[in-house]
Amino acid sequence: MNHHLRNKSKNLAAARRGLKSLSVAVALPLSLTLLDIFLFGSSARYTSLHKPFYVPSLWTLHLACVATAFLSGLSAWLVWAEGGLHRQPAALGLYLAQLAASLAWYPVVFRAGAVWLGLALCAALFGALVGCERAFRNMNPIAGDLVKPCLVWALLLALANLRLVYQ
């Protein structure tokens, strides 16, 4: 009986550690994304643009960015929880590259007005996400699937950026 209680206690401690690491893996990119949107996410130029149906509104852009931060953090955690980021360090580099490109887009495009550089960031973001999807899928198929909506978001971001280039 005592052995059973020790195992239950160990399992509970492991579950707490897992929940704590999951919280950090999701909260960190979400917090950075929300701060990014708060500091750089308003653009009178973008909101006043005539946008065809395929170019997202500003609130849709923000919502998709937040959802992507959540999904990419969750997918990275799934890979990390299985030890995948230690086995394939390139996967961590790809994850960090897509996070950096995503966070850089708002200040580059909306604050600095560098729309061509923003388009290059979209391409880098898409490339890093493709790499993440492939690397994550090899370690955890669910993690790879969670990256797929992020790829769609990167294309939406590129469309929004193109609208600013060719206004």
In order along its 167 residues, the chain shows pLDDT tens digits of 566 666 666 666 666 787 888 999 999 999 999 999 999 998 888 888 888 888 889 999 999 999 999 999 999 999 999 887 788 889 999 999 999 999 999 999 999 999 999 999 999 999 999 999 999 999 999 999 999 999 999 998 999 999 888 87
Q: What predicted TM-score, i.e. pTM, was given to this entire model?
A: 0.88
Helices 115-139 and 141-165, axial angle in degrees (round to 10) = 170
| Domains present along the chain, CATH in parentheses | 23-165 (1.20.1260)
The C-alpha atoms of residue 74 and residue 51 are separated, in whole angstroms, by: 32
The C-alpha atoms of residue 22 and residue 69 are separated, in whole angstroms, by: 13
The pLDDT of residue 16: 78
- 3-state SS, residue 142: helix
Close Cβ partners of 54 (under 8 Å, ≥ 6 residues apart): 159
**Contact yes or no for 34/66 (Cβ under 8 A):** yes
The pLDDT of residue 56: 87
Q: Tokens 């999951």 — which residue?
A: 22
If residue 14 lies in a helix (H) or strand (E), which one and from where to where? Answer: helix 2-40
The pLDDT of residue 166: 86
- 26: nearest Cα among 118, 111, 95: 95
